[in-house]
Structure 1
């Protein structure tokens, strides 16, 4: 009974942040005639305003993000073409990541290096978990399986570290950069600032949900060693 209750609470802790983020975005995604431009237009304006030479703005189906390798702010179709509070707030948030990159902020550089490493270790971990049972049979010893799974868990741990390291970056992008930009530039009305703050908070907490999912995936593989 207690195990079942703990499992339900854990599932709720994982799913609720994701549900809340989607709810906040959808709540403020309706078109507004009083917003002078789309999210894509605001992103381009901010890139020009802050002289972020070489940074482009693109529409994507892969979710809103900033790609430091390609120097591209990528926005989902709704946020790229939409005139909503969600569109302008998310656009400002992603441009703020471009600012972190342009300013050479140390935390962004560390995250970038870890993210590059995580892409490699993710692929390696996938190979390990697929090959581990076959290699263990060939080695004819349970210790070989334990060693292989342990190596895979170590590789998977890099992704957990990356998602956790990203959290301070997300809050900095939302509240130290995007919020002041939107307020001081009068890009949204004063009475809309509480809603904008909620959207930016949701944008930052998107990565909290990712961190929780990474930790759960890691826990599954740890249990294999018990």
Structure 2
């Protein structure tokens, strides 16, 4: 990237989100831009922080821990773990992150609950839903979401905040909206069934379907290449 490329692409991503929210008739503060920073060096994250970005999403644990150590002098960074989570990696995630988007089974949630340090606020978790029922994708199936949510909502040390999905790619805005609408409806069902849980989050929308996701109520949109350029 050139010297000005990252601030320009970050500004462009913010403007795209702002326009999408405006077109959807939503408040400009009702969705947050999550910068997906996997494979990008800590120096790029520092530059994004210098231009006001605070929320960063990481997929690979060791890489993320290295960046956290390199950037520990920066105030206000919020770290989101958004990749597949294995049992042997839950402790570091429970200790070092504020959010986990990829919880899809009770075993992982229980380990995060047990390993979350008592001195920290509850760990914000989203259930990953395999909304398009793809054999190659992680996530709880839609019909299993409520039962899993009920079990996780009862665990100490966790705050069940909502749902995350990565729908199968489609070509048109209307086709993109269908699985995202299904995810939104699932969240509404959880809100009705679990009124005590802080269920306010839909983590959905990436570079190819941001506008559709915003139309369907996304509150966290995940952009990587649009901000940082192609993976290195």
Task: State the TM-score, normalizing by the size of structure 1.
Answer: 0.29
Which has a greater percent of helix? 1
Which has a greater percent of strand? 2
**Who wins on radius of gyration, i.e. which is larger?**
1
Task: State the TM-score, normalizing by the size of structure 2.
Answer: 0.29
